[in-house]
Structure 1
Amino acid sequence: MPVMQPTLTTADYAQLLSHLHAVVHPLEAQLLTLGLPNVFDLQRRTKAALLRRDLTWFPAVPTLPSVPATLAGVAEGLGALYVLEGATLGGQVISRHLHHTLGLTPERGGAYFFGYGSSTRQMWQTFSHAMNQWVPQDDQLRVIAGAHSTFQLFEHRLQELLS
């Protein structure tokens, strides 16, 4: 992602947020309809609101059309959630970079990448434990398919930034 470039500008960052929101918002909306087991604490893990909050710091950025998510069921949804939760780990590094290069903080345009802050490791461990305990072996390929399709959604949307 271009977010780690030392030449990143606030305009570049705002565009990235808009592209991410176009994927994360519809994806989380669909996840909320799938009836994921409560052990995954989905309400606490959604981050589209953080993206919307960050975007308020950059009012000139146009809203992009949503990228529709097509998750076939709970197993695929867990794969998508795996991708979203995994991104919070990398977000910690990105958050520090954004603070250093653009002066962003969780309160001032950097909430999405800050994620859970100091609780990120614990949230990941809780999620990972739930995945290991809850996902039956028969569903593992569908979970992987959900993760793969989610990566493709992000790749498709973010390619526009690189072209």
Structure 2
Amino acid sequence: MNSIVNILTQLRTHTSTLHSELEQTPLSLALLDADVSSHNYVAYLQKMRGIIDFYEGTVFPVLKNTLTDLSEREKLAAIDKDLEYMSAESNNLPVFANPVAINPTIAYAFGCMYVIEGSTLGGKVILKHISKMLGILPDEGGTYFASYGEQTGHYWKTFLNNLQEYSANNNCDAEIITGAKDTFTAIKHYFEQ
């Protein structure tokens, strides 16, 4: 049981600074600012589109036999729906790439997913803020941030259970942590472009 708990503790420890740095990027700060604009929101969605497109194309296939609910975790269509609602471009956007994740192992992919799935928790906070400030609702421009709705906690716990089980059975904690760290770093750099 100690190693099961340990991977989550290790992930939090090894990524906390990177997580904080990502939250301090101008793009992230603008989204939660009291003066958030529709332009800020669209810019954030456009960046997230590139990120989600990349990870759904490179990381999801690696985990398809390990995470049974993977198709329910797809969010690209939700972002496209929100961009369409906002009358914003969803094509010809800046391309995101995490070169290290092009051919990931399952362990590395779990680390990437830890970041991507963890962002759904923050999405609830963001949706509440943009709903108040911009009038964005879950079915009116906020589909991506509302992706799991009331099931957000359930999906997060299910993912963590799968991650813990894989960690306990495969002696791969360093690789999982590297995947998470690389993902935080790649997203931060992309946000700063």
Q: Secondary structure at the match of 2:137?
A: coil
The correspondence for 1:141, drawn from 171, 174, 177, is 174
Whichever residue aligns with residue 119 of structure 2, its letter is A
Count of aligned pairs between the two proteins: 160
Whichever residue aligns with residue 55 of structure 1, its letter is L
Structure 2 alignment gaps of length 5 or more? 1-27
Structure-to-structure mapping, 1:118-133, within 5 angstroms: 118-133=150-165
Structure-to-structure mapping, 1:49-88, within 5 angstroms: 49-61=77-89, 63=91, 64-69=93-98, 70-71=100-101, 72-88=104-120
Please give the alpha-carbon distance, in whole angstroms, between the structure 2 residues aligned to 1:38 and 1:98.
Answer: 34
Contact 2:83 2:90 in 1 (8 A): no
Closer, same or farther in 2 for the Cα pair 1:157/1:7, shift >3 Å?
A: same
Q: CA deviation at 1:39?
A: 3.5
134-143 or 54-63: bigger deviation: 54-63
Contact 2:124 2:146 in 1 (8 A): yes
The correspondence for 2:141, drawn from 109, 132, 135, is 109
Give the match for residue 18 of structure 1: 46
Give the match for residue 95 of structure 1: 127
Give the match for residue 45 of structure 1: 73
TM-score of the superposed pair, with normalisation by structure 1:
0.90
Please give the alpha-carbon distance, in whole angstroms, between the structure 2 residues aligned to 1:87 and 1:60.
Answer: 22
Closer, same or farther in 2 for the Cα pair 1:40/1:151, shift >3 Å?
A: farther
Contact 1:15 1:61 in 2 (8 A): no
Closer, same or farther in 2 for the Cα pair 1:82/1:94, shift >3 Å?
A: same
Give the match for residue 27 of structure 1: 55
Q: CA deviation at 1:62?
A: 6.2
Closer, same or farther in 2 for the Cα pair 1:35/1:123, shift >3 Å?
A: closer
31-40 or 131-140: bigger deviation: 31-40
Q: CA deviation at 1:61?
A: 3.6
The correspondence for 2:187, drawn from 147, 150, 154, is 154
Contact 1:76 1:143 in 2 (8 A): yes
Q: CA deviation at 1:95?
A: 0.8
Contact 2:78 2:143 in 1 (8 A): yes
Please give the alpha-carbon distance, in whole angstroms, between the structure 1 residues aligned to 2:152 and 2:57.
Answer: 22
Closer, same or farther in 2 for the Cα pair 1:152/1:52, shift >3 Å?
A: same
Closer, same or farther in 2 for the Cα pair 1:40/1:79, shift >3 Å?
A: farther
Contact 1:92 1:115 in 2 (8 A): no
